[in-house]
């Protein structure tokens, strides 16, 4: 069994400087960069954007790019469609049209593009019923559709375009009496997509885990009635450079699945382990009126959302954004605050002090793990998410985790808005009892020959940038945000809120001739372009 590395956090006071000339202007954003970047310098310049003016309705979620037409396809959950955006003039992004999806289901959760073929993952109006992978041309004209698993959450082409993979999350209903199995589809794409049939769809299933001991560092969170395959919820997909393997985040399970594309089978499941917050400090309370980043006797479950692949010196690496997620339904919820738990007196002799609201009392943890001896009290505590990003090798072993760097950076340079919520300004420290800045989106690519990772912070806003030249020791480069903490989110004057989908476009395919980052922000319903050089 593999074991995850528990990475030490790094205190960074004094290591950052504000970028001269950026100030707080929402036209230029705010960039905070390391004073010790080394030889590589990265310039981030906001270009144009498209705003749906849909507040907190998922107006901009996942984005994909077609090279030939210079169009971005953005999932619009508010309008239940996919917006087609023309970015041929990156300073003046314009909407071409919207692909309506009501004929095929409730809404799209993901979109992908390859050589003018657009693929959408569309969930059923009955969330627990099979969804569809629907194909269009770049103008939104329907080409074909095939049935896939329940709640298709991510869709992705292989690099050669011969296959489309779909991660079917298979979430339960709110009563928790209907929990479909999670799965990953491998769909063979014929030269003429209109000839695609259900025979081209093969399932990579997880029922082989039902009667086996789970890999170390993986977990389930069901109340004892569901199978492991039902409990597994595939979330996001990255593809190896040679198109042989897919790496799939199993967010709620704290694991990565490796799928063999040729055989459409799960070849391995790797547990990510647990993060020791006695080593990697966190701010655990939203009721102490202060920034208090310190060690606590809690383990963090990494629970990555997005995964992005990059090849460095001939080897594949994978970037994961360790967001965290729980099973929280009317019929069953694993969430509890530490103040409401019975703590084992031997493991936690200072339980009364720990459970004060200004200490650990407010922190949300799981009740599905932690009672190691079955006596009804908790011997260990496990919180949701790693508040970090990590790097995996091609065996899905963790070779780096950013520790507590995100919260340390933000405490130093956004102290008045530290751990804010994404739909309300003046919400200082509001997310400390949950998942902190909540990293969710991730992208990776080369700018002027240097590999970089971009990690979006769903709650705090903005994105972190790291130099991946040494994948086992990435170096912080900058944090950029276009959030306006003086604006009104509901009036769409607060800038970009809740980065969800992040897309890297390399220089040779970009309309500017420079590398570009596209960020879709869910709460503000905005899609913004960035020039990278």
DSSP assignments along 19-85, one per residue: PTTTTT-TTT-EEEEETT-TT----EEEEEEEE---TTTTSS--EEEETTTTEEEEEETTTTEEEEE
Three-state DSSP class for residue 198: helix
Q: Report the C-alpha gap between 146 and 185 in whole angstroms.
A: 11
Count Cβ atoms within 10 A of the Cβ of residue 245 and give its class: 0-12 exposed, 13-18 middle, 19 or more buried.
buried
| b/e per residue 112-143 (b: at least 16 CB within 10 A) | bbbeebbbbbbbbeebbebbbbbbbebebeee
Bridge partners of 527, per DSSP, are 50, 520
Q: How many CB atoms lie within 10 A of CB 214?
A: 17
pLDDT at 6 over 50: no
Residue 416, SS3?
helix
CA distance 245 to 249: 13
The order of strands in the sheet holding 388-392 is: 307-312, 315-322, 388-392, 398-401
For β-strands 307-312 and 299-301, DSSP reports them as unpaired
| Band (10; pLDDT cuts 50, 70, 90) | very low
pLDDT band at 516 (very low <50, low <70, confident <90, very high): very high
Indicate whether 223 pLDDT > 90: no
- HSE-up of residue 264 (Cα within 13 Å, Cβ side): 17
- Model-wide pTM > 0.75: yes
Report, in this order, helix, strand and coil percent for the chain, each rounded to 5: 10, 40, 50
The answer on pLDDT for 336 being more than 90 is yes
Q: Which residues pair with 336 in a beta bridge?
A: 365
Count of alpha carbons within 13 angstroms of residue 146, beta-carbon side: 23
Strand partners, 109: none
- CA 208 → CA 108, 191, 214, 257, distances in Å? 29, 33, 11, 13
CB 6, CB 220: distance < 8 Å: no
What band does 323 get if pLDDT is binned at 50, 70 and 90? Answer: very high
Q: Is 313 helix (H, G, I), strand (E, B) or coil?
A: coil
Residues 416-425 have a mean pLDDT of: 97
363-368 mean pLDDT: 98
* Four-residue CA torsion sign, 375, 380, 381, 382: negative
Q: What is the pLDDT of residue 11?
A: 30
- The burial of 312, by beta-carbon neighbours within 10 Å (0-12 exposed, 13-18 middle, 19 or more buried), is given as middle
Contact yes or no for 76/109 (Cβ under 8 A): no
pLDDT score recorded for residue 225: 66
Return the minimum-mean-pLDDT range out of 4-13, 230-239, 266-275: 4-13
- Please choose, from the candidates 4, 152, 155, the residue with its C-alpha nearest in 3D space to the C-alpha of residue 73: 155
The answer, yes or no, to whether residue 14 has pLDDT greater than 60, is no
What count of Cα atoms within 13 Å lies in the side-chain half-sphere of residue 154?
28
Section 276-295 average pLDDT: 97
Cα separation, 238 vs 445, whole angstroms = 13
Number of other CB atoms surrounding residue 423 within 10 Å: 17
Quote the radius of gyration of the chain (alpha carbons, Å). 22
Helix or strand (DSSP H, E) at 409:
helix 405-413
Model confidence at 185: pLDDT above 60: yes
97-145 per-position pLDDT tens digit: 999 999 999 999 999 999 999 999 999 999 999 999 999 999 999 999 9
Average pLDDT over every residue of 11-21: 33
Q: Do the Cβ atoms of 170 and 150 come closer than 8 Å?
A: yes
Euclidean distance between CA atoms 494 and 186, whole angstroms: 41
Residue 7 pLDDT grade (very low, low, confident, very high; cuts 50, 70, 90): very low
Is the confidence at residue 18, as pLDDT, over 70?
no
User: Is the pLDDT at 402 greater than 50, yes or no?
Assistant: yes
Residue 324's Cβ-side half-sphere holds a number of Cα atoms within 13 Å equal to: 27
Split at pLDDT 50, 70, 90, the class of 32 is low
Q: Is the pLDDT of residue 427 over 90?
A: yes
What is the model's pLDDT at position 29?
Answer: 67
38-42, 248-252, 445-449: segment of lowest average pLDDT: 38-42
Question: What domains does the chain contain, in order, with CATH numbers?
Answer: 16-45+57-123+131-215+233-325+385-532 (2.130.10.10)
Report the share of the chain in percent with pLDDT over 90.
Answer: 91
* 441 Cβ contact list (under 8 Å, min separation 6): 305, 306, 321, 454, 455, 456, 458, 463, 499, 500, 501, 502, 519
Using the predicted structure, report yes or no on whether residue 25 has a pLDDT greater than 70.
no
Averaged pLDDT of the chain: 93
pLDDT at 31: 64
Q: What confidence score (pLDDT) does residue 435 get?
A: 97
Q: Please give the Cα distance from 82 to 140 (Å, whole number).
A: 9
Q: Given a cut of 80, is residue 40 above it in pLDDT?
A: no
Whether residue 76 is predicted with pLDDT greater than 50 in this model: the reply is yes
């Amino acid at each position: 069994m593999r074991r995850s590395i528990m990475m030490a956090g790094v205190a960074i006071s004094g290591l950052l400087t504000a970028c001269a000339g950026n100030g707080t202007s929402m036209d230029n954003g705010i960039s905070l960069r390391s004073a010790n970047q080394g030889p590589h310098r990265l310039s981030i310049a906001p270009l144009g954007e498209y705003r749906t003016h849909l507040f907190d309705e998922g107006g901009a979620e996942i984005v994909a790019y077609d090279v030939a037409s210079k169009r971005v396809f953005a999932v619009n959950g508010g309008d239940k469609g996919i917006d087609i955006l023309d970015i041929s003039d990156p300073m003046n992004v314009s909407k071409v049209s919207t692909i309506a999806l009501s004929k095929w289901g409730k809404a799209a959760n993901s979109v992908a593009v390859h050589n003018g073929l657009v693929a959408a993952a569309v969930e059923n109006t009955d969330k627990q019923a099979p969804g569809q992978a629907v194909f269009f041309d770049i103008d939104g004209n329907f080409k074909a559709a095939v049935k896939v698993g329940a709640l298709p959450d991510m869709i992705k082409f292989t690099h050669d375009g011969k296959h489309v993979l779909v991660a079917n999350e298979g979430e339960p209903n709110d009563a928790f009496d209907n929990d479909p199995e999670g799965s990953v589809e491998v769909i063979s794409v014929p030269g003429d997509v209109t000839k695609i049939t259900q025979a081209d769809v093969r399932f990579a299933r997880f029922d082989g885990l039902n009667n086996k001991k789970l890999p170390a560092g993986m977990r389930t969170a069901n109340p004892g009635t569901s199978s492991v395959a039902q409990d597994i919820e595939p979330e996001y997909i990255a593809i190896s450079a040679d198109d042989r393997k897919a790496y799939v985040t199993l967010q709620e399970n704290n694991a990565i699945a490796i799928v063999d594309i040729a055989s459409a089978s799960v070849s391995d499941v790797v547990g990510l382990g647990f993060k020791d917050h006695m080593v990697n400090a966190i701010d655990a309370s939203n009721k102490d009126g202060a920034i208090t980043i310190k060690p606590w006797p809690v383990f963090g479950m990494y629970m990555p959302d997005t995964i992005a692949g990059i090849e460095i010196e001939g080897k594949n690496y994978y970037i994961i954004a360790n967001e965290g997620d729980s099973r929280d339904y009317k019929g069953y919820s694993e969430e509890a605050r530490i103040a409401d738990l019975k703590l084992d007196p031997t493991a936690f002799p200072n339980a009364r002090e720990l459970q004060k609201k200004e200490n650990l009392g407010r922190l949300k943890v799981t009740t599905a793990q932690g009672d190691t001896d079955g006596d009804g009290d908790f011997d260990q505590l496990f919180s949701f998410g790693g508040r970090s990003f990590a790097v995996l090798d091609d065996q899905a072993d963790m070779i780096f985790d950013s520790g507590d760097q995100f919260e340390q950076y933000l405490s130093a340079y956004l102290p008045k808005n530290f751990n804010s919520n994404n739909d309300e300004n003046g919400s200082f420290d509001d997310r400390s009892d949950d998942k902190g800045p909540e990293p969710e989106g991730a992208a990776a690519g080369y700018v002027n020959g240097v590999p970089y990772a971009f990690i979006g912070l769903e709650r705090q806003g903005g994105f972190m940038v790291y130099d991946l030249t040494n994948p086992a020791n990435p170096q912080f480069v900058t944090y950029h945000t276009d959030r306006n903490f003086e604006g009104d989110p509901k009036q769409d004057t607060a800038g970009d809120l809740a980065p969800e989908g992040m897309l890297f476009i390399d220089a040779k395919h970009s309309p500017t001739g420079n590398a570009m980052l596209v960020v879709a922000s869910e709460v503000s319903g905005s899609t913004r372009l960035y020039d990278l050089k």
